[in-house]
Amino acid sequence: MNFSNTNHEHKNVINMSKKVILSITIIAAIGLASCKDVEKNESTNTEQTTTKDIVITKATFGVRGNCGMCKSTIEKAANTVDGLETVAWDGAKKQVSVSFDSNKTTVDAIHKAIANSGYDTDKFSGNVESYNNLPGCCQYDHEMAMNQSGEVKYDNHLNNDH
């Protein structure tokens, strides 16, 4: 009979479909399982990257100055820059070392902040008005060499009768 025959074929098609679906499900499950493993590894990597997201950049450049008071003024000026992490002015080398978050600021911004406080950097001249307002002992020589080797001990007023 044509009708039941068709019906039977239809059932077969359904059975086949079920088998196909089952196979697909199994393959998908295997696929998902392996994907999960990959995802796990990826998320681990992502976490590590996230902690490294803050990129700390280090820079060293010349800054003129005389004494411990200069050091304090220079370092305070650098610290006004948002994103600055560390600053240390080396009076013997006439050089400042900074580290900063490069997403927030630039070396130039730190140069400018220091220059604004009256101190020459190897890129910008110190603000004249600020320089004139510095204590006499801090009014450094504009011809002073910057980025020195640091072998010559600098004249720190703290060690002198001043």
Q: Which stretch binds Cu ion (CB under 5 A): 39-47, 95-103, 115-123, 137-145?
A: 137-145
Among 63, 110, 115, 138, binds Cu ion (CB under 5 A): 138
From residue 64 to residue 93, the character string flagging contacts with Cu ion as x (rule: CB under 5 A) and all else as - is --xx-xx-----------------------
63 binds Cu ion (CB under 5 A): no
From residue 5 to residue 44, the character string flagging contacts with Cu ion as x (rule: CB under 5 A) and all else as - is ----------------------------------------
Q: State residue 95 phi and psi, 5-degree precision.
A: -150, 145
Question: What is the H or E stretch that residue 85 is in?
Answer: strand 84-90
Q: How far is the CB of 98 from Cu ion (least distance, A)?
A: 19
Question: Residue 114 is encoded by which pair of tokens?
Answer: 């220091």
Please name which of 45, 109, 114 lies closest in space to residue 83, comparing C-alpha atoms.
109
Q: Is 74 exposed, middle or buried (0-12, 13-18, 19+ CB in 10 A)?
A: buried
Closer residue to Cu ion, CB minimum distance, 52 or 162: 162
Please name which of 16, 126, 27, 137 lies closest in space to residue 74, comparing C-alpha atoms.
126
- Footprint on this chain of Cu ion (rule: CB under 5 A): 66-67, 69-70, 138
